[in-house]
Each structure stands twice: as C-alpha cells, then as structure tokens.
C-alpha cells in the first residue's frame, strides 16, 4: 500500500516537471496547427473588409485551391525539389562519401569536416554564397568553371532556377546523408564481405547483394527524414530566389508565405498550409513506424 | 591465408585512388562557396565574384560595427538564441528525465507526438502562430499600459509576444524542444538508476535529487541538447523575419538579409564580413556537436 502511494506521488512529479514543455508545445505548435485548420474555412485576411469581419466560407478555399494553377505548380516544384535534392542528390553523394570514408585512407577527418561544413552554414549565409557562385557574367565562379569545359556563361539562377536550388540544397544536405549512412554501414559485419570475397564476388556484386539490402532500413529512414526536412526548407530558397523567377522555384513553404504575407490572404494561405501539414504528417507517421520507438 | 596477391594490392591501390578522387571533388564542391565569404570580407575592393584580394584589410569588419548596427544585431542574436537555448536545456532536462522514468499511459503517445511535431513545416504554422501571439500581445499591452503609461512600450520590447524578446525566445525554444526532449530522454535511458534510488533511500526530495544527482550526471546530454538547439535557432530566418519589426530588435540574419536588399548599393565587403561574423558561431558550435551527430541524426536506429 505504501509503495503504491509512493509510486502515485512519483508519477505526479514526472507530470509536473514535464508540464512546462507540454504547455509550450500545446500553445505554440498544437494550437496553431489546429487553428490553421479553422482559418482554412474562413476568408480571414490581413487587410480589407475580411480583416475586420472574417466569415466562415466552408470549403471555398479548398475548391479554389483545386483550380489554382499556382498551387499545383507549387506542389509540383516541391515534389521535384524533394526527389532531386533529398532522395537523389544528397543520398547519392552522401552514400559515395560514406563508402569512400570507410576505406583506410589518409585525411579522413579533414574530408569529413569539409563535407560537414555546408550543414553548419545558416540558411541566409548559404543562400548568399550561392548567389555569388551562380551569378551572371563571365567572372562568376560557376561560369568560369564551366567555360573551362567550353560551356557558355549564364545567369544560372535566371536560366535554370529549379535545377540550381536543387544543387544548393544537395550541397547543404550531403552531411546528413553521409552521417546516417555511415552509421548504417558500420552495422554490417566485415565477415560478410570477407566471405563474399572468398567466393569471388566483384565489388559491384557485393554492393548490390550485400550493402544495399542490409542498408535498406537505414536508407528508408533517411529518405523519410530528408523528405520531411526538405519540404520544410524556407530560408535557403527565400534568400536565393524568393520563389522566382515567375514561380519556377515557388516551393509550398514559399507559396504559403507569399499568400499570407504578400497577398495577405490568411484563410487561403491556411488551406495551403493544411495540405502541407497533411503531407508532412503522412510521411512523419511512416517515419515514426520505421523508427520502431523503444520505450 | 594472409598472403595478398599482387593483383589484389593493385586493386586496393586503385580503389583508394578512386576514393581520394571522389572525396576531393565532393570536398571542393562543399568548400568553394565559403572562400568567397572569407576572401571578400578581407578585400578592400570586394565584389560579387570570387577573386584573390589585391589589398587585404580589416576595414569591412570595422564597418560592420561602426557604419552599421552590427553590434546591436550580434547582441540581439546572442541574447535571443542564448535565452532560447538555456530555456530548452532546462525544460528538456526536466522533461526528458520525466519521459525516461515515468511508467504512465501517456509516455508512448507523448513520444510519438514529439516525433511527429518535428516533421511539421514551420511555414505552415507561422500564420496562426502570429495571430495567437498578437492576441497575447494585445492582452499584455492592455494590462501594462494603464499601469506604466508611456513606459509600457519600452517594457513591451522585452516582454512582448510580437516584436519583443520574450515572444521570439519562447517560440524559438518551443521549435527546438521536441529534438531536445528526445535527446535527453534517450540520454537518461542510458543512465543507471542506482544513484537516484540511493538518494531516494536517503529520503531526498525531487528537487534535491535533481540538484545533487541529476544535473552533474546529465551534463553531457544537456551539452548535446543545448548545442543542437543553439545551432538550429541561430540559423533560423523565418521566425525573426515574421515576429520582429523594430530596428532595435533586428538579429543578424535579418540585418544580413536587409543589407543584401539594397540592390543598387550593395557593399559586398560589408555583407561578407557580416556573413562571416554570423557564420562563425554556427561553425564553432557544429565542431563541438560533431561527436553527437551520429546519435542525434540516426535517432532510434539500432546499432
């Protein structure tokens, strides 16, 4: 009996010291998320008549969304951005780096430090660095590099905007992929490779038959983490292009920002936000299941 | 069979060469953009393009603090991000301890919830968050104004929810909390319970247990949680962009962004010096955080 009441008191204490965190998360994350669902059913605006007396408009924001070419463009741009930079670019370069760094070569720590560097740069700084790299004119860095191979200089962010933000985001995320995949690679026992080598397997066979299958859980987890974090990218694209030119790099997070703070249509912006929240949550649930949380 | 055949040695040499070559290429790709910031910030004639400075100078750095409000931006960034980091360390230290030790029904739902909160894109939350903070702010102003009169504005600069230090600190801290709670929960899971049970036997209260046993033991975990909170809050651009408007409250990312918006008269030397000042603490923190990266990025991956 004494033990029971003691345990009850302990449980109350746990709740008590968790309470401040709980309150902050409820107030500044959960409540805003629910509130944006509510806003998406109103014609709330920052200016004009609707700002004074917002009305309930039912599903009108959502029907407008379905017929809004700019919304579909934003979804498409986000999709291409996530697939090309997170699923392909960061993953491939991260895997190559992780595998190369597993070899007993020199300067490993130096190489991995340099590869980690872009991840440390704040979004705005990263954006400006690449504005310099990709600027128009013969003197900009990328133009000078490609002219070496006989390619004409260009104003890269104007001519290939989406490809360029994909390159920049790939640059920024190689480190995350490399670290996660290094952790995954280190769980594969070396004896398996030894045995395969004895049987005369070639390196490419070992990669396809051993490395890839055994890495699958790690790769899946990485894909989900990097997909959700890439959907959330805002500052990097905003500093580089602010969604332009002509919506070519208007990913969903930029579109929400422009609708809400440039067009001042909070209700409509909230409907777009709800779509982004739902997509992220679906990926998030897959991620939580893949993680197999241990208690 | 420890004998390595000549063909195998050659093979190994070739593979190593490929490893060096690919790593060098990737490293150049990663490093080149940083050279522009570093070189242009020390260049008396800095331009948008990467080139070797002809006259080396510290004038750009001096200008950041004399011609521009660099000192104020730096102070604001350090104050806001430092405040948020401290808050996160305290809350996540306590909360992570509770999450690790409790056996209540809400443990698993709470853990799932903080993982899911991490995937929500902040841009999708800022509009309702802005409206909510505006309501809180107006309520606070309505209370303060009759009491403090004309001083209320100055007080609100510190304690306001919109365009005030407090609001930005709370919001920045909240965004870092889920990861920090997760780090601390995992950390306490790995800490043996013997010490606490011994303290409990001696009749120590919760506060005593936290002060004498937990804080000393939890320092490595708190360091990791604090570093990640600092790095992520330091690099954040969206939240200050939306929640700050007074010039007195501008932080480094905003000062940098606005310096870049003066299209016709961009001073690239000044801009890159400012960027370097903003970049440096992030890189230093990242260097310290390096040994925690694996556990944090891989979260619950076994192995």
Of the listed ranges A276-290, B127-141, B207-221, B273-287, the least confidently predicted one is B207-221
Supply the angle between the helices A266-291 and A69-81 in degrees, to the nearest 10.
Answer: 30
pLDDT digits (tens, 9 = 90+) for A36-46: 999 899 888 87
Across chain B, what does the average pLDDT equal?
86
Question: Most A CBs within 10 Å: which of B1, B18, B20, B30, as the mutation test of the A interface?
Answer: B30
Tokens linked to B230: 């600092």
- Decide which of B185 and A290 is more confident: B185
pLDDT digits (tens, 9 = 90+) for B34-71: 999 999 889 888 788 888 888 888 888 988 888 888 89
Supply the angle between the helices A212-231 and A161-185 in degrees, to the nearest 10.
Answer: 140
Cα gap B63→B69, rounded to integer Å: 9
Answer yes or no: is pLDDT of B1 > 50: no
B124/A274 Cβ within 8 A: yes
With beta carbons less than 8 A apart as the criterion, state whether B176 and B84 touch.
yes
Question: Most A CBs within 10 Å: which of B125, B185, B252, as the mutation test of the A interface?
Answer: B125
Instruction: Tell me how crowded residue A264 is: count the other CB atoms within 10 A of its CB.
Output: 16
Q: Dihedral, CA atoms, A84, A87, A90, A96, nearest 10 degrees?
A: -120
Bridge partners of B43, per DSSP, are B56
Answer yes or no: is pLDDT of A9 > 90: no
Q: How far is B266 from chain A (nearest CA, A)?
A: 12
Answer yes or no: is pLDDT of A148 > 90: no
Distances (CA, A) of B279 to A131, B83, B224, B232, B286: 16, 19, 20, 13, 11
Band of residue A84 on the pLDDT scale cut at 50, 70, 90: very high
Answer yes or no: is pLDDT of B303 > 50: no
B16/A17 Cβ within 8 A: no
* pLDDT on residue B300: 37
Answer yes or no: is pLDDT of A126 > 90: yes
* pLDDT on residue A295: 52
DSSP chain A: -HHHHHHHHHHHHHHHHHHHHHHHHIIIIIHHHHHHHHHTTB---SSSHHHHS--B-TTHHHHHHHT-HHHHHHHHHHHHHIIIIIIIIIHHHHHHHHHHHHS--TTHHHHHHHHHHHHHS-HHHHHHHHHHHH-SSTTSHHHHHHHTTTPPP--HHHHSHHHHHHHHHHHHHHHHHHHHHHHHHTTS-HHHHHHHHHTT--HHHHIIIIIHHHHHHHHHHHHHHHHHHHHT--HHHHHHTTT-STTTT--HHHHHHHHHHTS--HHHHHHHHHHHHHHHHHHHHHHHHHHT---
Band of residue B282 on the pLDDT scale cut at 50, 70, 90: very high
Answer yes or no: is pLDDT of A256 > 70: yes
Query: What CATH number has the domain bearing residue B179?
Result: 1.10.3720.10
Domain for residue B34, yes or no?
A: no
Handedness of CA A160, A162, A165, A171 (dihedral sign): negative
**Beta-carbon pairs below 8 A across chains A and B:** 309
B128/A270 Cβ within 8 A: yes
Q: How far is A260 from chain B (nearest CA, A)?
A: 7
| Domains identified in chain B, total number | 1
Domain for residue B226, yes or no?
A: yes
Tokens linked to B138: 């107006």
With beta carbons less than 8 A apart as the criterion, state whether B115 and A293 touch.
yes
B124/A132 Cβ within 8 A: no
With beta carbons less than 8 A apart as the criterion, state whether B63 and B204 touch.
no
Contacts of A140 in chain B (CB under 8 A): 48-49
Per-position b or e across B99-132, b if 16+ CB within 10 A of its CB: bbbbebeebeebbbbbbbbbbbbbbbbbbbbbbb
Q: How far is A26 from chain B (nearest CA, A)?
A: 10
Question: Most B CBs within 10 Å: which of A14, A39, A226, A241, as the mutation test of the B interface?
Answer: A14
Q: What is the mean pLDDT of residues A29-35?
A: 94
Cα gap A126→A119, rounded to integer Å: 9
Cα gap A10→B244, rounded to integer Å: 42
Distances (CA, A) of B295 to A176, B211, B221: 12, 26, 11
Distances (CA, A) of A182 to A99, A186, A187, B180: 7, 6, 9, 23
Question: How many whole angstroms from its chain centre is CA A12?
Answer: 38
Contacts of B257 in chain A (CB under 8 A): 124, 239
* pLDDT on residue B295: 63
How many CA atoms within 13 Å lie on the side-chain side of B57? 14
- Decide which of A87 and B265 is more confident: A87
Q: How far is A38 from chain B (nearest CA, A)?
A: 9
* pLDDT on residue A3: 57
With beta carbons less than 8 A apart as the criterion, state whether B256 and B68 touch.
no
Cα gap B272→B36, rounded to integer Å: 8
Domain for residue B57, yes or no?
A: no
Q: What is the mean pLDDT of residues A234-247?
A: 89
Band of residue B302 on the pLDDT scale cut at 50, 70, 90: very low
Domain for residue B31, yes or no?
A: no
> B129 in contact with A at a CB cutoff of 8 Å?
yes
Is the overall model pTM greater than 0.80, yes or no? Answer: yes
B121/A141 Cβ within 8 A: no
Distances (CA, A) of B114 to A30, B81, B121, B278: 11, 21, 14, 30
Bridge partners of B56, per DSSP, are B43
* pLDDT on residue A103: 84
Distances (CA, A) of A124 to B238, B239, B254: 10, 13, 9
- Decide which of B15 and B252 is more confident: B252
Domain for residue B27, yes or no?
A: no
Band of residue A53 on the pLDDT scale cut at 50, 70, 90: confident
B31/A117 Cβ within 8 A: yes
Of the listed ranges A131-145, A169-183, B15-29, the least confidently predicted one is A131-145
Band of residue A31 on the pLDDT scale cut at 50, 70, 90: very high
* pLDDT on residue B231: 93
Nearest residue of chain A to residue B106 (CA atoms) = A15
B31/A114 Cβ within 8 A: yes
Contacts of B121 in chain A (CB under 8 A): 228, 231-232, 234, 252-253, 276-277, 280
40-59 in B: which are within 8 Å (CB) of A? Answer: 40, 47-51
Contacts of A228 in chain B (CB under 8 A): 118-119, 121
Domain for residue B105, yes or no?
A: yes
> B299 in contact with A at a CB cutoff of 8 Å?
yes
pLDDT digits (tens, 9 = 90+) for A263-280: 788 888 899 999 999 999
Contacts of B98 in chain A (CB under 8 A): 13-15, 17-18
Q: What is the mean pLDDT of residues B119-124?
A: 90
**pLDDT > 90 fraction of chain B, expressed in percent and rounded:** 42
- Domain range for B256: 70-298
Band of residue B248 on the pLDDT scale cut at 50, 70, 90: confident
B170/A24 Cβ within 8 A: yes
Cα gap A125→A123, rounded to integer Å: 6
Contacts of B173 in chain A (CB under 8 A): 24
Burial label for A145, CB within 10 Å (0-12, 13-18, 19+), is middle
A117, A270, A288 ranked by CB distance to B112: nearest: A288
* pLDDT on residue A49: 66
Answer yes or no: is pLDDT of A284 > 50: yes
* pLDDT on residue A1: 44
Q: What is the mean pLDDT of residues A206-211?
A: 88
- Which has the closest alpha carbon to A120: A173, A163, A76? A173
A217/B123 Cβ within 8 A: no
Phi, psi angles (nearest 5°) of residue B5: -70, 155
Domain for residue B53, yes or no?
A: no
With beta carbons less than 8 A apart as the criterion, state whether B95 and A20 touch.
yes
Domain for residue B2, yes or no?
A: no
């Amino acid at each position: 009996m004494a033990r029971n009441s003691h345990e009850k008191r302990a449980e109350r204490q746990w709740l008590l010291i968790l309470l401040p965190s709980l309150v902050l998360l409820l107030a500044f994350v959960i409540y805003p998320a629910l509130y944006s669902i509510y806003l998406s059913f109103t014609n709330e605006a920052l200016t004009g008549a609707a700002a004074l007396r917002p009305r309930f408009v039912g599903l009108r924001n959502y029907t407008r969304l379905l017929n809004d070419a700019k919304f579909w463009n934003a979804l498409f741009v986000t999709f291409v951005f996530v697939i090309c930079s997170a699923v392909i670019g960061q993953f491939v370069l991260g895997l190559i780096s992780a595998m190369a760094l597993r070899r007993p070569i020199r300067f490993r720590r130096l190489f991995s430090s340099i590869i980690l560097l872009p991840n440390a740069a704040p979004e705005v700084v990263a954006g400006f660095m690449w504005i310099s790299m990709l600027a128009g004119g013969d003197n900009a860095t990328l133009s000078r590099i490609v002219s070496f191979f006989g390619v004409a200089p260009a104003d890269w962010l104007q001519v290939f905007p989406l490809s360029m933000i994909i390159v920049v985001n790939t640059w920024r995320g190689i480190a995350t992929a490399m670290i996660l995949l290094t952790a995954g690679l280190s769980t594969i026992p070396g004896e398996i490779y030894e045995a395969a080598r004895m049987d005369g397997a070639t390196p490419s066979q070992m990669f396809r038959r051993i490395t890839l299958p055994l890495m699958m859980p790690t790769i899946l987890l990485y894909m989900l983490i990097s997909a959700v974090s890439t959907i959330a990218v805002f500052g990097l694209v905003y500093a580089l292009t602010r969604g332009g030119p002509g919506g070519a790099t208007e990913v969903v997070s930029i579109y929400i920002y422009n609708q809400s703070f440039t067009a001042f249509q909070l209700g409509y912006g909230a409907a777009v936000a709800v779509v982004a929240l739902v997509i992220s949550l679906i990926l998030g649930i897959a991620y939580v299941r893949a993680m197999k949380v241990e208690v | 069979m420890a004998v390595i055949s000549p063909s195998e040695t050659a093979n190994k040499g070739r593979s190593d060469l490929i490893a060096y070559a690919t790593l060098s290429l990737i490293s150049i790709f990663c490093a080149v953009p940083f050279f522009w910031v570093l070189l242009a910030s020390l260049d008396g004639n800095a331009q948008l393009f990467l080139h070797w400075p002809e006259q080396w100078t510290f004038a750009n750095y001096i200008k950041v603090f004399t011609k521009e409000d660099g000192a104020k931006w730096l102070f604001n960034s350090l104050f806001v991000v430092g405040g948020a980091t401290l808050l996160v360390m305290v809350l996540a230290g306590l909360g992570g301890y509770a999450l690790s030790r409790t056996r209540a029904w809400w443990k698993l739902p709470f853990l799932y919830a903080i993982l899911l909160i991490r995937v929500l894109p902040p841009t999708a939350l800022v509009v309702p968050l802005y409206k909510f903070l505006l309501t809180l702010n107006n309520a606070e102003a309505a209370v303060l104004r009759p009491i403090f009169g004309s001083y209320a504005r100055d007080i609100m600069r510190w304690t306001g929810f919109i365009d005030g230090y407090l609001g930005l600190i709370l919001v920045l801290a909240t965004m870092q909390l889920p990861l920090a709670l997760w780090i601390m929960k995992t950390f306490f899971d790995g800490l043996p319970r013997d010490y606490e049970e011994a303290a409990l036997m001696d009749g120590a209260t919760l506060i005593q247990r936290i002060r004498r046993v937990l804080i000393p033991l939890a320092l490595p975990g708190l360091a990791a949680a604090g570093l990640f909170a600092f790095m992520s809050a330091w690099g954040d651009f969206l939240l200050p962009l939306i929640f700050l408007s007074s010039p007195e409250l501008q932080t480094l990312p905003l000062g940098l962004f606005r310096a870049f918006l003066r299209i016709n008269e961009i001073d690239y030397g000044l801009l890159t010096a400012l960027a370097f000042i903003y970049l440096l603490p992030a890189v230093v923190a990242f260097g310290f955080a390096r040994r925690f990266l694996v556990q944090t990025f891989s979260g619950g991956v076994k192995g």
